[in-house]
Amino acid sequence: MAKFRIWGNRPLQGEITVGGSKNAALPILAATLLTESPSTIHNVPDLLDVRTMIMVLESLGARVETVDRGSYTIYPQQLKPLEPPYELIRKMRASFLVTGPLLARFGKAQVPLPGGCAIGSRPIDLHLKGFAHLGVEVSMRSGYIEGWAEKVHSGEVYLDFPSVGATENVMMLAATIEGETVIANAAREPEVVDLAHFLSLMGAEISGVGSDTVVVRGRKHLEGCSYTIMNDRIEAGTFCVAAAITKGEVIVRGVEYALLRSVLTKLEEVGVQVEKIDEYDVLVAMKERPHATNIKTMPYPGFPTDMQAQFMALLCLADGVSVITETVFESRFAHVGELERMGAKVQVEGRSAVVMGVERLTGAMVTATDLRAGAALVLAGLAAEGMTEVNGVGHIDRGYERLEEKLASLGASIERVSDE
């Protein structure tokens, strides 16, 4: 797998526009299967995870055409009630999001269990419970989920946890069921809202999305449509932290300020200058060492778990002790050991990490274990003295498009080195 070679301790300067949201693109690509007619999706980021999702759609018989850079037309007419390939589900858990559409299209689905990953066991019990509340008979057989949906009906689904994926899968199935389905304790993430906008354009009536109670009035036959994906708030947050950790000054363009409020507020708390230029552009500048603060990741609109690792890298350089509590995933601290190789001092106690800030980090050979851990190591390398090599860049390419090029355009000294 390729690696990044970074020469650190250089302030980032300039401006960067973020790309389409990975976590909006994946469910919306899956949702195109809900109808026989084609849909065209714009502003799709060119990421490994997106390519995997396209492979999943094609493995089920859909045809996917590249219309332009970032624009794809999906022709789902020839969709077959096939099983998505295990290796694709294993490679990317979000492939499980085709389950709702398959149940809706064929009244049945047989999908491999996604299994766990580096950040946790990632169960799907809430997806299955949600389907069951809508009349789907679900059984599990040697690593597969089998769902029978001949007798689907509208109803009320309560999610024990506001799971993003479960909300999305249930919403997609409900979008084809006449009558009123209520999803209580639904996820409020902006990417769920983006999916709801797409489903509404297809003909479903959805209200309350973005709150904890979503009401879906579905229609048996939905229509394909054209849609432009929202931009990626986590990519934007990552660049904001990059500006802060390198004591630079960067304008980050393209994401609604409100969607990043929790991250921007925390940056201000540690002494970063954050200036809202307009609704979609923010200036982030830092001159001195960050102060310590405490972070608790929560479902939206709380501090996003997908920004926890990146913010930890910043707090490793703070002038004090910070406590980071990860409430969303049970083991999302794999980046700690790698940050310690760069001189960070972090003590993990269960779901909390105590970060004792140090004056400086030093470059080292480190390895990315998952997408956001990899991003955190790149940020630490940008700030560290000397050279850092981040191995396992494939993890980073899953969620960041041309990260090294974008950082280099801001003055970072970073290059991609393919395996010798």
Q: Kindly tell me which residue out of 8, 19, 20, 165 binds ligand EPZ, with binding defined by CB under 6 A.
A: 165
| Segment 56 to 115, residues that bind ligand EPZ, using CB under 6 A | 94
The yes or no reply on residue 163 touching ligand EPZ (CB under 6 A) is: yes
Q: Kindly tell me which residue out of 3, 105, 127, 395 binds ligand EPZ, with binding defined by CB under 6 A.
A: 127
DSSP bridge partners of 223 = none
Q: Kindly tell me which residue out of 122, 289, 291, 341 binds ligand EPZ, with binding defined by CB under 6 A.
A: 122
Helices marked H in 335-402: 335-340, 371-383, 393-397
Give the nearer residue to ligand EPZ in terms of CB position, either 294 or 327: 327
State the nearest-atom distance from the C-beta of 271 to ligand EPZ, in Å.
27
Give the nearer residue to ligand EPZ in terms of CB position, either 368 or 371: 371
Q: Kindly tell me which residue out of 81, 120, 179, 350 binds ligand EPZ, with binding defined by CB under 6 A.
A: 120
Please give the span between the terminal C-alpha atoms of the chain, in angstroms, as a whole number. 10
Residue nearest to ligand EPZ (CB): 165
With beta carbons less than 8 A apart as the criterion, state whether 16 and 406 touch: yes
Residue 334 CA, distance from chain mean position: 17
With beta carbons less than 8 A apart as the criterion, state whether 31 and 261 touch: no
The yes or no reply on residue 401 touching ligand EPZ (CB under 6 A) is: no
State the nearest-atom distance from the C-beta of 113 to ligand EPZ, in Å.
11
The yes or no reply on residue 140 touching ligand EPZ (CB under 6 A) is: no
Give the nearer residue to ligand EPZ in terms of CB position, either 53 or 410: 53
With beta carbons less than 8 A apart as the criterion, state whether 164 and 214 touch: no
Pair type for strands 137-141 and 365-367: unpaired
Give the nearer residue to ligand EPZ in terms of CB position, either 305 or 369: 305
Distance CA 298, CA 324 (A): 11
| Segment 281 to 340, residues that bind ligand EPZ, using CB under 6 A | 305-306, 328-329
Give the nearer residue to ligand EPZ in terms of CB position, either 223 or 330: 330
Pair type for strands 180-184 and 156-158: parallel
The yes or no reply on residue 123 touching ligand EPZ (CB under 6 A) is: yes
The yes or no reply on residue 26 touching ligand EPZ (CB under 6 A) is: yes
Give the nearer residue to ligand EPZ in terms of CB position, either 304 or 363: 304
The yes or no reply on residue 210 touching ligand EPZ (CB under 6 A) is: no
Burial of 10 from C-beta contacts in 10 A (0-12 / 13-18 / 19+): middle
DSSP structural state of residue 60: T
Give the nearer residue to ligand EPZ in terms of CB position, either 28 or 222: 28
Q: Which helix (H) or strand (E) holds 403?
A: helix 403-408
Candidates 117, 225, 240, 316; catalytic one:
117
Q: Kindly tell me which residue out of 102, 166, 196, 286 binds ligand EPZ, with binding defined by CB under 6 A.
A: 166
Q: Kindly tell me which residue out of 372, 382, 396, 401 binds ligand EPZ, with binding defined by CB under 6 A.
A: 372
Closest CA to 220 of 107, 62, 104, 133: 104
Distance CA 68, CA 71 (A): 5
The yes or no reply on residue 124 touching ligand EPZ (CB under 6 A) is: yes
Hey, what amino acid is at 16?
A: I
Give the nearer residue to ligand EPZ in terms of CB position, either 248 or 374: 374
**Does the active-site annotation cover 240?**
no
DSSP structural state of residue 292: P
The yes or no reply on residue 233 touching ligand EPZ (CB under 6 A) is: no
| Segment 3 to 22, residues that bind ligand EPZ, using CB under 6 A | 22
Handedness of CA 296, 302, 305, 308 (dihedral sign): negative
The size of the interface with ligand EPZ (CB under 6 A), counted in residues, is 25
Distance CA 21, CA 24 (A): 5
Helices marked H in 205-358: 233-245, 261-269, 308-315, 335-340
Task: Find where tokens 């995997």 sit.
Answer: 52
Tell me the window of 118-126, 336-344, 345-353, 402-410 that interacts with ligand EPZ (CB under 6 A).
118-126
Distance CA 371, CA 338 (A): 14
Site for ligand EPZ, rule CB under 6 A: 22-23, 26, 94, 120, 122-127, 161, 163-166, 187, 191, 305-306, 328-329, 371-372, 399
Catalytic residue annotation: 117
